[in-house]
Structure 1
Amino acid sequence: MNLVSMLGLPFLACLLLSLVLGYLGLHVVKREVIFIDIAVAQIAAFGILAAHLFLGVPGNSIQTLLFGIGATLLAAIFFAVARRKTTQIPLEAVIGITYAISAGGVLFMIGKGTGGHTHVQEMLSGALLWVKPRDLVWTSAVLALVGACFALFRRPFQRISDGYDEAVAAGMRVIGWDFAFYALCGIIITLSVRLAGVIVTFCFLIIPATVSALFSRKWGVRLLVAWLTGAVSSATGLLFSQWLDFSAGGSVSLFLGFAVAGSALIAYARRRHQK
């Protein structure tokens, strides 16, 4: 009973992240924008720190969260236009440059204000073990709405993810659809980072999707594999953290790493056997 009371809410939080980020990760891997998570998290941190340090908005409040989401919406416009209009530079390079600039802004604000170091530490590592029921409920509600938008627009999103140039040739309004995708992506990542930290969010976004890509090309199968990978890694990681009194976020990330390493070995052995 003590184990359930201690790990129940963190496990539910991890399942929530697995469901949402597992699906989003399929698109991210397909679009080859792997570091979108870190860039968006840094942009959100820039908005949150600016609101907190310069406008006096209380930290960890809804107001600062809205400033963070607002910053990611501006980034969504930029990424959508950059992908369509900037043909000489890969979007991943644009994302990397955006990350570097926003990180520089965050470091500047940390040096100018007080309390910035604490916020950055919380943003990186998260606090899975201290998730509150209230935070989990309202985060789930918002992510459910975002998930409904993904379900509603799944066909154009998948078409662009499967082939951007083909979507352009077919006459799709790719800038508008890309803005919608990156805007929803920004909301998801901002809320996920607030719940679990950048490192755990990045692992849930990329690793389950990578594992699924090793075994199937079908969206439905890949989604199930991604969800299963996230759920099993969450359960084993949290139990491991409790057993050895280890960081919950670090432990879950570690077991997600074990999952992708083991899956790569299995996929390699299967290809060797088929030859």
Structure 2
Amino acid sequence: MRRCLSRSLLVCLLFATFARAELPPDYKVVLLTENFPPFNMADNNKNFAREKNISGLSADIVREMFKRADIKYTMTLRFPWDRIYNHTMNTANHGLFSTSLSEARKPLFKWVGPISKYESVLVGLDSSAPLKDLEEAKAYRIGAYQSAAVSQYIERLGFTPQNALRDQENIRKLQSGKIDYWATSDPVWRFYAKEQNATGLRTILSFHTSDLYLALNKDIPDEVVERLQAALDQMRSEGYGTCKKNPELC
């Protein structure tokens, strides 16, 4: 009995020590994101937005996560992805979402998630030839978004995609015959197609499912990562970011 009490007391002391750990009063995480609808996007459809002018499924989850973890933050949407990705990787107290976690990226950041997920697909015209697998697609011209996870994924498989600075450019390239297929994300491509009133497009091949995360600079304290992950886990248990709360994802 005495041994059990000692163990219980030790657990309580450890918990109390963790609970008392506090960040400096002025501590703040600088969050960066991009237009990646419906996960994160500027309300004014521009390539720059701040705070309340950023919306989306992931943006809402990240806000709630920081609120529950009691950690201050700022949120800015910028362009292009390549720049904010490298800036986050090289700048203390910065975070980036929505980001795919790959083996190549894993050691570059600290990670919280998953916050959402998406499907990697090849999009073509209604008249495009069907594809049985990605290997068959290597005989065609593939458009993609520069430095995006989908582009990096197919590059690792031996593709040399025609990378554009804006994902929307691939819709015009596809319709004008400059590329045969567009390597992108679902539901992202559907949002852009609707935005540009583009018709006659369809998913030709679905080839990979990816979770989306909050990527944090490696100098971020572990305490921050743990508090954010605990907040997200609690939110998940309540249905945030799942079919229960967001049937449009399913």
Q: Assess same fold via TM > 0.5.
A: no
Q: Which has the higher strand share?
A: 2
TM range (shorter): under 0.3
TM-score if structure 2 supplies the norm length?
Answer: 0.25
TM-score if structure 1 supplies the norm length?
Answer: 0.24
Greater length-normalized contact order (CA 8 Å, ≥ 6 residues apart): 1
